[in-house]
Amino acid sequence: MPERLPVLPMKDVVVFPHMVLPLFVGRATSTRAVDNALSGDRHALFVTQKEPSVEFPTFNDLYHVGTVGLILRMLKQSDGQMKLLVQGVKRVSLLEIEAQDDGYFVGVHEDLDSIKPADEYLTEARMRSVKEQLIRLIGMGKPVLPDFVDMLNNISDPEQLANILSANIGIPVNESQEMLEMLDPLERLARISEYFNRELSIMEVQQRIADSTKGEIDKNQRDYFLREQLKAIQRELGERGTGGSELEEYEKKIEEARMTEEAEKEARKQLQRLSYLSQDSAEGSVVRTYLDTLCELPWSKSTKEILQIRKAKRVLDMDHYGMQEVKERVLDFLALRKLKKDIKSPILCLVGPPGVGKTSLGRSVAKALNRKFVRMSFGGIRDEAEIRGHRRTYIGAMPGKIIQGLKTAGSNNPVIMLDEIDKLGADFRGDPASALLEVLDPVQNFSFTDHYINLPFDLSHVLFITTANYVDPIPEPLKDRMEIIRISGYTEEEKLIIAQKYIVPRQIEESGLDKVKLTFRKEALRDTISYYTRESGLRKLEQQIGKICRKIGREVVENHTEEFSVSQKSLRKYLGVRKFEREDELEKNEVGIVTGLAWTPSGGETLFVECAAFKGKGALQQTGMIGDVMKESMQAAYTYIKSIADEFKISEKSISSKDLHIHVPSGAIPKDGPSAGITMATAIFSVLTDRAVKRDVAMTGEITITGKVLPIGGLKEKLYAARRIGIKTVVIPKRNEPELADLPKTLLANLNIVPVSLFREVLPVAVE
């Protein structure tokens, strides 16, 4: 064997003696070394690189123990690479390498002789042990060539056995190099035995794992094959089962929904259940509906708010006239929202008579905030499940109104209006008002749980606005969670402005009269308000204006007229005879008739109290479908007037010889409350003294038997009623005087307010 041989550096393989293996050579230096070897005796020195990434290795980049190999065959491929078939000959030590002109290296080497074992029995035992370990590994599934074991049984040389095993058991390159460098074959066999023991331990663990999971895997495989067969049958029948496309679609929806961690975990659990169910199963339909609900909920979707105070104020003023208290509260919330992003949304409750614009105001608030708007009617709801939803165990179960509203809005920060919250009921199905306690509590609603989805949902970003006609029916715990904002009715002047700016243009557009030149005279609108409507709100007024527009639309179609002007004279043509007459048009002041003021759910109303005296024994009769409280108030007023009879020269004989009859007209309408006390006292005083009461004076206030005037409620609504019928002077309790500071200036204009604390102060104002 020549001492100088061409060197072929190997990147990821170690060549052992007695080993035949294919090699691929691609580097230019290596191909030149092969050509040099083939031109000689076909021998070359195969040495492994320490680092495979080095493209041009030097002496220090190579291991210094390698193998002389014989190139049995060489085949050049189309890409320039060489495919070699090499047989290892003997192990050598690389002493140095010399670079040749062609770029390849020639190495100087010397032989490395193995140590011959001294103990023949130990050698035989070690060889048998290794072979038995290999047979056990093969029995546990380790892949080897078919005739490999037979070949090993024919080997009696420990050095040759160690070389063949080292080359074929699949150990890493660095460990293979260590094996090549070991001179004692028994030591190499011991290292191979350690490797086999490690592999046996790993494969035994794998076998135990495989045995423990085999039953489950077999069941899953069985279910999989049965499902595939079912799908094939369904395809043949023209039916569609729960295929991969549907599951992939739900998987995509779950990813896009960006749920909370808890919700996503539940959704994936239900999706796994769905994968085991057929298309026709009832449970599959329930799971699909539940998954659709979870995926459609806006867990993390929200609309971007407009935090510009001026722009929001402009929107609110453009949509609604007046209502300053509500607008100020919304703008306050916007300002704080700009300062602190995570501020809790307020729960507003708009209380007022029908038709004053509570619902439309909620829509304008959503528009001003650039949020979605959802309206829910709560009138007549008696089932708690309408709020919290039904549990999925029931057939036809569905989420409650709150979750459905969020699905409709598509965002987690809409404006949700709960309309007619004062008309909630309660029966054996539960109390919906109690279910609303969690919804309308900013401290609790961050984890509202609907019975259907059975997962917490954050409602703290929602702005809830509730509406009611009156506050009393709302349960106290629910009322405590809301900010009550009262919206009273409108004066004639306010109705006139609203009709000109909002109602008339809207009705012209809705009636298709945009191209017709149609004008409403101010006097015509004023008469429509005074003589054809009698309400605190605007709903009837809009209906009357819409009626005029429809009549005009008919004339346009029939007569092709293109110009109209609605005046006072033409109102009768469009609206018929007057529905109401103004009560202030009475010709003179009368004895025993006093104008009182009352509060109703529809707003303020005038209340005319009549009193008449006739021969009798001092009894007091009361009529007009009045309640017990009002009857007691009449009795208290009568008692007080009798107590001051001497002061006003009312003889005891005239009192004891007369019966009094107090009547409140509109006898079919129930009436109750103490606030007409001074009105009744004035009527009794007028009859007993035969002094007339001024027709342009109205009054309200509770009276005691000592003549004190106590405060009343609904002052704003009552003043609106007084303005509506043309009253000039209103007598109110002294303790209600501070409320005047918060009332609109347009309401108090041209209205003489007289606060009194004693009944004696009423007489100079009201009685001639």
Positions marked catalytic: 675, 718
Reduced 3-state DSSP string for 428-453: CCECHHHHHHHHCCCCCHHHEECCCC
Residue type present at position 606: T
* Residue 692: DSSP 8-state: P
| Angle (CA) 255 259 261, round 5° | 105
CA gap 614, 620 in Å, rounded:
11
CA distances from 282 to 232, 240, 395, 484 (A): 21, 15, 10, 47
d(CA 705, CA 641): 9
Q: How many CA atoms lie within 13 A of 520 on its CB side?
A: 26
428, 382 Cβ separation under 8 angstroms: no
Give the number of C-alpha atoms closer than 13 A to the C-alpha of residue 43, restricted to the C-beta side: 16
What is the separation of C-alpha 73 from the centre of its chain, rounded to a whole number of angstroms? 74
- Strand 456-457, strand 43-48: pairing: unpaired
Alpha-carbon Rg of the chain, whole angstroms?
50
**Residues paired with 738 in a beta bridge:** none
Cβ atoms of 599 and 711 closer than 8 Å = no
Instruction: Give the separation between CA 335 and CA 351, rounded to whole angstroms.
Output: 24
Separation CA 725–CA 79 (nearest Å): 107
**Number of C-beta neighbours around residue 545 at 10 A:** 27
CA distance 230 to 521: 77
Cβ distance 508 to 500 under 8 Å? no
CB 271 within 8 A of CB 247: yes
Bridge-based pairing state of the strands 752-756 and 729-733: parallel
DSSP lists the bridge partners of residue 351 as: 468, 486
Provide the terminal-to-terminal Cα distance of the chain, rounded to the nearest Å: 149
Sign, CA torsion 253/255/260/263: positive
Instruction: Kindly state the helix (H) or strand (E) to which residue 659 belongs, with its residue range.
Output: strand 658-663
Phi/psi of residue 505, nearest 5 degrees = -60, -40
What's the rounded Cα separation, in Å, for the pair 507 and 509? 5
Nearest of 470, 201, 489 to residue 323 by alpha carbon? 489
Residue 603 in contact with residue 536, Cβ under 8 Å?
yes
Contact predicate 528/575, CB 8 Å: yes
